[in-house]
Amino acid sequence: MTEMVYGTIPVRESEPVLPKWWRTIDKWSMSCVLILFGIGILLGLAASPPLAEKNGFAPFHYVERQAVFGALALSAMMLTSMMNPRLVRRLAVLGFLGAFVALMLLPFFGTDFGKGAVRWYSLGFASVQPSEFLKPGFVVVAAWMMAASQEINGPPGRSWSFLLTLVIVVFLAMQPDFGQACLVLFGWGVMYFVAGAPLLLLIGMAVCVVLAGSFAYSGSEHFARRIDGFLSPDVDPNTQLGFATNAIREGGFFGVGVGEGEVKWSLPDAHTDFIIAVAAEEYGLILVLVIIALYAIVVVRSLMRLMRERDPFIRLAGTGMVAMFGVQAMINMGVAVRLLPAKGMTLPFVSYGGSSLIAGGIAVGMLFAFTRTRPQGEIGDILRGRGR
């Protein structure tokens, strides 16, 4: 009877894991992620040698570390994408609990590395940023709560997810890390909207966010300084934003040439937060458009696959994951061209950073696991059946 109602997709019995994974994975999206990582290595070769020289390292010290972190990230992505959604959910809950505890202990054991925000744990040979690992776990936990609330006599999962989001946002704002706080709040808002939230409630939440931003502006010098710099009609050419916007302008359509850029000698974060400025200066608008297109392909293809998904949990978790992935890329590039205030957020798979690369690999692996083709009827089958 179930097959008559929902329809099925033929299942190959006893199919090995790897052939089954290759047959069901979104190959276009996976290829885009691999290309983005390759572009990140290419840009790292241009952006990181000046910083390595300044810190007394070998010229390609940061590129080699990025290659190692990237290998771990891609391995995590592949392994996670091979899991079924139920196993992904179990592991994500455990990972979320560990990252949440680490986030709470940051004020006591964390460090700011002289950047004015306590966001990292220093391990001596490397650093770990708990908020990066918190995001994918949070999306899965929040989606699980919302999906459970749609069941008959289910728990008030939407309210629970909202309270959990508020707690996380408060801890992130205490660092302060308003960029990640906004990203978490946005991801939850998208999932809540997809789950059927009233529009008036979302408008009310947007008003609350504006009020919270006003309070943060008056109470946080770190936050106020970035907002003032963004709203100022004149850009100080000696600031990171000044160097970045000038580099983008100098690059034009085709760039100044490989290795000929100057911004990497002026920006301390040229290999991380402002990597797109290096791309624009040396390779021009052409490469920037390619990067934007790669992110857009992953986002659009993932959403198209999720639209056909029948399981509420998978649909919500996948939507939250792809929304945070796409918006993080948009925020990073928006900051570089001065469309948004400085956030200190990396460009997924392109920027240097161990925590962001590995956590990004886990998050995208979860997304690929949620968007794999499975032996089930699609949501369209249900809608067509109801219309008969």
Sequence ranges of the domains in the chain: 15-373
> For the residues of 216-282, what is the DSSP string, one character each?
HHHH-HHHHHHHHHHH-SS--TTSHHHHHHHHHHHHTTT-S-TT--SGGGT-TTTTTTTHHHHHHHH
pTM over 0.85: yes
Tokens of 132: 């990066």
Rg (the chain; Cα; Å): 22
Tokens of 166: 């508020």
Q: Can you tell me the distance from the alpha carbon of 109 to that of 126, in angstroms, rounded to the nearest whole number?
A: 15
| Statement: residue 79 has pLDDT above 90 | yes
Where is pLDDT greater, at 92 or 57? 92
Distances (CA, A) of 150 to 144, 154, 235, 275, 320: 10, 6, 50, 42, 17
Say how far residue 124 (Cα) sits from the centre of its chain. Answer: 26
pLDDT reported for residue 382: 47
Give kind and range of the element (H or E) at residue 128.
Answer: strand 127-128
Highest-confidence range of 192-196, 215-219, 264-268, by mean pLDDT?
192-196
Tokens of 266: 């002026």
The answer to whether 373 and 316 have CB atoms below 8 angstroms apart is no
- CA triple 334-338-342, angle to 5 deg: 75
Candidates 374, 258, 380, 225; CA nearest to 308 is 380
Q: Where are the alpha helices (DSSP H) in the chain?
A: 2-6, 17-24, 27-47, 49-54, 61-81, 85-104, 106-109, 130-149, 157-174, 178-194, 199-219, 221-231, 240-251, 275-307, 312-336, 354-370, 379-386
| Statement: residue 116 has pLDDT above 60 | yes
pLDDT tens for residues 123-132?
A: 887 889 999 9
Q: Can you tell me the distance from the alpha carbon of 271 to that of 320, in angstroms, rounded to the nearest whole number?
A: 27
pLDDT > 90 fraction of the chain, expressed in percent and rounded: 49
Tokens of 331: 């925020």
Could you tell me the pLDDT band of residue 388, with boundaries at 50, 70 and 90? very low
Give the contacts of 295 (CB within 8 A, at least 6 positions apart).
32, 36, 325, 326, 329, 330, 348
Q: Can you tell me the distance from the alpha carbon of 371 to that of 24, in angstroms, rounded to the nearest whole number?
A: 9
Q: Can you tell me the distance from the alpha carbon of 261 to that of 277, in angstroms, rounded to the nearest whole number?
A: 10
Q: Can you tell me the distance from the alpha carbon of 332 to that of 338, in angstroms, rounded to the nearest whole number?
A: 10
Distances (CA, A) of 316 to 142, 150, 373: 9, 12, 16
pLDDT tens for residues 291-324?
A: 999 999 999 999 999 998 989 999 999 999 999 9
CA torsion through residues 78, 320, 356, 231, sign: positive
What letter represents residue 244's amino acid? Answer: A
Q: Tell me the sheet residues that pair with 120.
A: 111
Where is pLDDT greater, at 254 or 96? 96
The answer to whether 255 and 36 have CB atoms below 8 angstroms apart is no
Give kind and range of the element (H or E) at residue 127.
Answer: strand 127-128
Where is pLDDT greater, at 382 or 55? 55
pLDDT tens for residues 326-368?
A: 999 999 998 888 888 777 789 999 999 889 999 999 999 999 9
Distances (CA, A) of 234 to 197, 230, 238, 240, 245: 41, 9, 12, 14, 12
For the beta carbon of residue 292, count every other beta carbon within 10 angstroms: 14
3-state secondary structure of 150: coil
Where is pLDDT greater, at 375 or 381? 375
